[in-house]
Amino acid sequence: MTAIEITPGALATADHRSQLRRAVIASTVGTTIEWYDFLLYSVVTGLVFGKLFFPRSDPLVGVLEAFAVYTVGFIARPIGAAIFGHFGDRIGRKAALIATLLITGLSTFAVGFVPGYATIGIWGAVILTVIRFIQGVGVGGEWGGSVLLSMEWARTNKHRGFITSWPQFGGPAGLFLANMAVLVFSAISGDQFLVWGWRIPFFLSIIMVAVGLYIRLGILETPVFRRLVAEERIERVPVLEVIKRQPKQVILAALARMAEQAPAYIYLAFVVAYGDFLLTALVAAGLVSFVTIPLSGHLSDRFGRKRIYLIGSIATGVFGFIYFAMLNTIVPGWIFLGIVLSFVPHDVMYGPQAALIAERRLLGLSISRSSRATADRLHE
């Protein structure tokens, strides 16, 4: 691999190292907040939204209808990736990331105000769908930019897998906080959880957004992007350039992520429909991921991204059969263990994923985040 070049008049080594740390912290805290927002919706969907917004449906049908609204966020994510990938390449990573943080956080805050079916009928579900779409747009633009913010401050490629695993760390951290918030306010509100208790974790999002905004406003633009600006190598329409020049890589990146994303949302969202007890198991699973994600990123630095990713992919496929067998035992201990272990093979893929995609020039991350010139500096 070749080292990433930086702008002329670069910072001194100590200052550069400080900025790298701040970029990693800003990326990790920001992704934690945004995944808290996105995954909080995941947790509450199976527990609350079917009963609150689709009360006239059969309970199972109501849950499925609630998950249909949940799906809208995933439809919006590639749209957000394209929009903020474009602006991240045109005006800078920092500005785009501030925008995604505000969009995701404010839309999550708004969910707490949506009235249920008993108040305004089906319009509650309609409003919820619109907000979910906006939230998905924000999250879709977050991932690639947060990874690049960390990666583009690295002067060499030696620890790139470990560095980019920290923005990935925001996923389980957000899941942990979301589940803890629901558990705490479920205990506090008791039988009033469906009335007002579920809304408080959404309201708390505004505080987390303020923290994330403070951190992100204090970082500098990345050396790689500043060099692109100085050399006037900014693409006019970065998204189209990536799709036109690298269609195969776009498809490969989507397929690579699908192997990790599909099982992840079964583990963290759909499974919640089985019962409240599973929230505690998901909290424990999040704690395990605090170790396995940076560890797998580090292992990819030593043994290669592709090798570690393939191991994680095979392990995830095999564990899927074990996972549902453990759930179907209906024995609480086995169910708890199955959920806690479910993210381990997933994390083996998730940890090195960002570095794998960037280094293989698989679309400059979230569709376009890295322009063609940036990709030239990142590939092997």
Q: Quick one: which H or E segment has residue 364?
A: none
Q: How confident is the model at residue 162 (pLDDT cuts 50, 70, 90)?
A: confident
Place of tokens 């290669």: 304
Asked if 347 and 122 touch (Cβ cutoff 8 Å), the reply is no
pLDDT at 127 exceeding the cut of 90: yes
Query: What pLDDT is recorded for position 10?
Result: 56
Query: What pLDDT is recorded for position 1?
Result: 34
For residues 49 and 324, give the distance between their C-alpha atoms in angstroms, rounded to a whole number. Answer: 25
For residues 298 and 30, give the distance between their C-alpha atoms in angstroms, rounded to a whole number. Answer: 21
Largest CA distance in the chain: 65
Tell me the pLDDT tens digit for each residue of 46-56: 778 888 898 88
Query: What pLDDT is recorded for position 361?
Result: 52
Query: What pLDDT is recorded for position 312?
Result: 93
Q: What is the mean pLDDT of residues 197-211?
A: 92
Q: How confident is the model at residue 378 (pLDDT cuts 50, 70, 90)?
A: very low
Q: What are phi and psi of 329, to 5 degrees?
A: -70, -25
For residues 137 and 107, give the distance between their C-alpha atoms in angstroms, rounded to a whole number. Answer: 10
Query: What pLDDT is recorded for position 380?
Result: 40
Reported CATH class of domain 13-378: mainly alpha
Which long-range contacts (C-beta less than 8 Å, at least 24 apart) are formed by 48-53?
48/193, 48/194, 48/198, 49/128, 51/194, 52/116, 52/117, 52/124, 52/194, 52/198, 53/116, 53/117, 53/124, 53/125, 53/128
Query: What pLDDT is recorded for position 370?
Result: 38
Q: What is the DSSP string of 64-77?
A: HHHHHHHHHHHHHH
For residues 158 and 302, give the distance between their C-alpha atoms in angstroms, rounded to a whole number. Answer: 9
Query: What pLDDT is recorded for position 360?
Result: 61
Tell me the pLDDT tens digit for each residue of 4-28: 344 434 566 777 777 788 888 888 8
For residues 219 and 332, give the distance between their C-alpha atoms in angstroms, rounded to a whole number. Answer: 46
Residue-level length of the chain: 380
Q: How confident is the model at residue 274 (pLDDT cuts 50, 70, 90)?
A: low
SS3 content of the chain, % helix, strand, coil (to 5): 80, 0, 20
For residues 44 and 52, give the distance between their C-alpha atoms in angstroms, rounded to a whole number. Answer: 11
The residue ranking higher by pLDDT, 158 or 119, is 119
Q: Token digits for 80? A: 């957000």
Domain boundaries, the chain: 13-378
Q: Token digits for 330? A: 């209906």
pLDDT at 365 exceeding the cut of 60: no
Tell me the pLDDT tens digit for each residue of 54-88: 888 877 777 778 878 878 888 888 898 888 877 87
What is the end-to-end Cα distance of the chain in Å, rounded?
A: 5
pLDDT at 134 exceeding the cut of 80: yes
Query: What pLDDT is recorded for position 146?
Result: 79
For residues 208 and 199, give the distance between their C-alpha atoms in angstroms, rounded to a whole number. Answer: 15
Tell me the pLDDT tens digit for each residue of 277-315: 677 888 888 889 989 999 999 999 889 888 999 999 999
Asked if 335 and 278 touch (Cβ cutoff 8 Å), the reply is yes
For residues 136 and 132, give the distance between their C-alpha atoms in angstroms, rounded to a whole number. Answer: 6
Q: Is the dihedral of CA 109, 110, 113, 116 positive or negative?
A: negative
Tell me the pLDDT tens digit for each residue of 320-359: 899 989 988 888 888 889 988 988 999 999 888 888 877 6
For residues 301 and 307, give the distance between their C-alpha atoms in angstroms, rounded to a whole number. Answer: 11
pTM: 0.76
Q: How confident is the model at residue 199 (pLDDT cuts 50, 70, 90)?
A: very high
Query: What pLDDT is recorded for position 268?
Result: 72
* Average pLDDT score over the chain: 80
User: C-alpha angle 109/114/116, rounded to 5°?
Assistant: 145
